[in-house]
Amino acid sequence: MKIRILNGKLIDPGSSHEGEFDLLIENGKIAAIERQGAIPKQEGETIDAKGLAIFPGFVDLHTHLREPGEEYKETVQTGCNAAVAGGFTTICCMANTHPVNDHGAITEYILGKAREANGVHVYPIGAVSKGLQGEELAEIAEMREVGAVAISDDGRPLMNGNLTRRAMEYARNFDLPMISHCEDKNLSSEGVMHEGYWSTRLGLPAIPSASEEIMVARDILLAELTGAHLHIAHVSTKGSVDLIRRAKERGIRISAEVTPHHLILTEEALQDYDTNAKVNPPLRSEKDRQALWQGLKEGVIDCIATDHAPHDINSKNVDICQAAFGMIGLETAFSLSLRLVESGTLSLSELIEKMTIQPAKLLGLPAGTLSMGSPADLTLVDGSRTFRYYASLGGSKSHNSPFDQCEFKGKVVMTLIAGQVVYTEKKDDKKD
Amino acid sequence: MNNGWQKRHLLGIQGLSATEIEQILTTAASMKEVSQRPIKKVPTLRGKTVVNLFFEPSTRTRTSFEIAAKRLSADTINLTANTSSLTKGETLVDTARTLEAMAPDVIVVRHSVSGVPHLLARWVRCSVVNAGDGMNEHPTQALLDLMTVKERKGKIQGLKIAIVGDVAHSRVARSNIWGFTKMGASVRVAGPRTMLPLEIERLGVEAFDRVESAIEGVDIIMMLRLQLERQDGAYFPSTREYARFFGLDLQKLRQARPDVMIMHPGPIHRGIEIATEVADGPYSVILEQVANGVAIRMALLYLLLGQGNEDTNP
């Protein structure tokens, strides 16, 4: 089975391709990357990518798939559908399922569900502590043996410094990065948004920047102590960016991610008490947002990750204190992040690097680049097309996005995994 | 008759213009006369239904709304839904839609979470009046405070007011900050730093650490009620220390102008945020505030419901 993808513009920072190339896919693998017109006509399919950009399938280090336990919010299947609609072909799912992914059987269960889905490469992230309780270590080595690629108690920050230290030591033993959701729960208290002008104005209990920064500082020191690879999840404050910059300068093994929503939105998004803009860490101030752009540009922040967090309507259509934290993000990640290219902060190639090869390298995943013989996981994007995003029409089972019905530029048109077309945009989408 | 009022809901002072506030105050002044008649009732809102939906305990605000509605001949229903109705499985939105199905004209709502009136307003067709939401706003309290000041001082523009106490957790403080600044007064806030929210100055006020310096030279001192459970959250060490350093007593009052006016939204904690001699003293207008509360709420119900009403002006 052969497929030719002709006339597109290939951008693959992982293999240093940037320009007009034709691709030949054979048996699901990249068989040739040639100057346009150089691949001879042959049997099989041809995809005309004229006017489109070709990227390696995006890689997300931070997805919540909700299965097992909260299948009414998302399943592995629907999460994978959302992924390909957003151009992602590899996703790493967090451990806060019910039961928690804290031992090999749950890891295996998730992988089994993924095998029945649409081909997206799903890599589970194991829990640090049993039941995310922050008390005893989870069975980390066994989860790794089954297929876990990192450990994290995401969503339930580790308040116990000693356990965090032991977890890092143990993770280092098995070459697993530790992904840290940095938050001091005592400082966050009952907070629902960033503490600053808007929380004062809206009269909402709030989370200070220090809540995140104190734990970033603690975990940097513990990474230094243990030599473990520390990856900071969803960096949201200027202070965190500064701490990570200094840690990198000191040669500590640390990496970091930022979400598209923290790059684009600020605390002001809460002004009408929109529960879909309630996320953890909270949307911060404009000053923080600018520091995140700067951090990403400099490479202090290594990559973009979605923190795709599906919630059903009943978890969101309540008062803001009761509402769940989180928003979906797989399907809007590229369009939102493209704004950094539009503004001249990043080149398109730099952006794609931070959504493909960079995250893949951080966790050692065989993904994020298109070289000879690698799986033909790629996405075709129309970078100039504007469209209206409807959360309810997407692949995810949940629709909790503050971007619902927003106008976006840059649309994923088609996604392939192992040479199979797993997503093509719906015809209706074109009307806008 | 069209009273010229444009808005369907009263969610906060934040959304009102100075002209609209002025209109409410003028209407309230004429409503006050009704409460002084031997027969304290006019037919203006006959056939209208006002639902008081209170998710937090309240005596004075709920009673004030009820009396206001009854003096205008509206029918009133009081629903005191505590949070236990949530444990029964009914959500706020369900409650709102159930009420909506009974076709009320106004829902007056109080809730412990900021933004709940805004959420309700998205789900019901009738008017929503905010009777206090979390730490956000208590607009009718601010309006009655403005009315009281205007009656006593003849104006609001150019006056200086100090709001003292737990500003961070106070919806009364926020509504009054919006209201007094919109009407041209200058506003100071004071209290322990644990109870002054970040960037409060950006709301157009001046922040003080010490009560003594905040009240110097002001025309009005507004004391806020101390929520005693805040002690557990490490906001202050003890009521004894709070009373000594942040409560208004005769000694601190010496720093103030001799004609200073003293307000409190009630209910007061005697001997904590305000000394008895001060609360009952000659400059205290605390009971006038209560009386004006009825007039303000009558004015609001009239403005929100009076549009297109055939009945005559009271």
- pLDDT tens digit string along A37-52? 999 888 889 999 999 9
Chain A CA closest to residue B93: A318
Chain A residues touching B113 at Cβ < 8 A = 319-322
At residue B88, does pLDDT exceed 70?
Answer: no
B238 & B199 share domain: yes
Question: Stretch B191-211: mean pLDDT, rounded?
Answer: 96
Burial of A20 (0-12, 13-18, 19+ CB in 10 A): middle
Q: What is the pLDDT of residue A119?
A: 97
At residue B89, does pLDDT exceed 80?
Answer: no
CA distance B233 to chain A (A): 10
Is residue B4 in some structural domain? no
Question: Stretch B255-271: mean pLDDT, rounded?
Answer: 93
Q: What is the pLDDT of residue A373?
A: 93
B33 & B54 share domain: yes
Strands of the A303-304 sheet, one edge to the other: A151-152, A178-180, A230-232, A254-258, A303-304
Structure tokens at A256: 């970091």
Is residue B78 in some structural domain? yes
Give the span between the Cα atoms of A139 and A176, in whole angstroms: 13
Strand residues in A176-277 grouped as ranges (E):
178-180, 193-194, 206-207, 230-232, 254-258
B178 & B226 share domain: yes
* Catalytic status, residue A219: no
B133 & B145 share domain: no
Give the span between the Cα atoms of A250 and B187, in whole angstroms: 49
Model ipTM?
0.91
Q: Please work out, in degrees rounded to the nearest 5, the angle formed at the alpha carbon of residue B116 by the alpha carbons of B114 and B117.
A: 110
Q: What is the pLDDT of residue B309?
A: 45
Is residue B152 in some structural domain? yes
Q: What is the pLDDT of residue A223?
A: 98
B282 & B168 share domain: yes
B198 & B112 share domain: no
Is residue B285 in some structural domain? yes
Please state the length of chain B.
314
Give the span between the Cα atoms of A331 and B21, in whole angstroms: 45
CB B42 within 8 A of CB B69: no
Is residue B56 in some structural domain? yes
Domains of chain A plus CATH, in order, are 2-54+373-431 (2.30.40.10), 57-362 (3.20.20.140)
Give the span between the Cα atoms of A108 and A147, in whole angstroms: 8
CA-closest candidate to residue B104, choices B131, B130, B147, B74: B74
B43 & B131 share domain: yes
A204 to B136: CB separation less than 8 angstroms, yes or no: yes
Q: Does A74 lie at the interface with B, CB-CB under 8 angstroms?
A: no
Instruction: Name A43's bridge partners.
Output: none
Is residue B27 in some structural domain? yes
Is residue B6 in some structural domain? no
B122 & B143 share domain: no
Q: Which amino acid is at B305?
A: L
What's B267's domain CATH number?
3.40.50.1370
- Count the helices and strands in chain A (H runs, E runs): 14, 19
At residue A432, does pLDDT exceed 70?
Answer: no
Is residue B314 in some structural domain? no
Chain A residues touching B198 at Cβ < 8 A = 195-197, 199-200, 206, 208
B100 & B174 share domain: no
B93 to A318: CB separation less than 8 angstroms, yes or no: yes
Number of domains, chain B: 2
B219 & B111 share domain: no
Chain B residues touching A195 at Cβ < 8 A = 198
pLDDT, averaged across chain B: 91
Question: Stretch A303-328: mean pLDDT, rounded?
Answer: 96
**First and final C-alpha spacing in chain A:** 35
CA–CA distances in Å: residue A125 to residues A183, A291, A331: 19, 28, 21
Beta-carbon contacts of residue A115 (< 8 Å; ≥ 6 apart): none
B177 & B83 share domain: no
Residue in B119, B174, B202 closest to A203 by CB: B174
Q: What letter does residue A410 receive in the DSSP assignment?
A: E
Q: What is the pLDDT of residue B312?
A: 42
Domain that holds residue B104: 18-137+293-305
B44 & B63 share domain: yes
Q: Is the dihedral of CA A235, A241, A243, A245 positive or negative?
A: positive
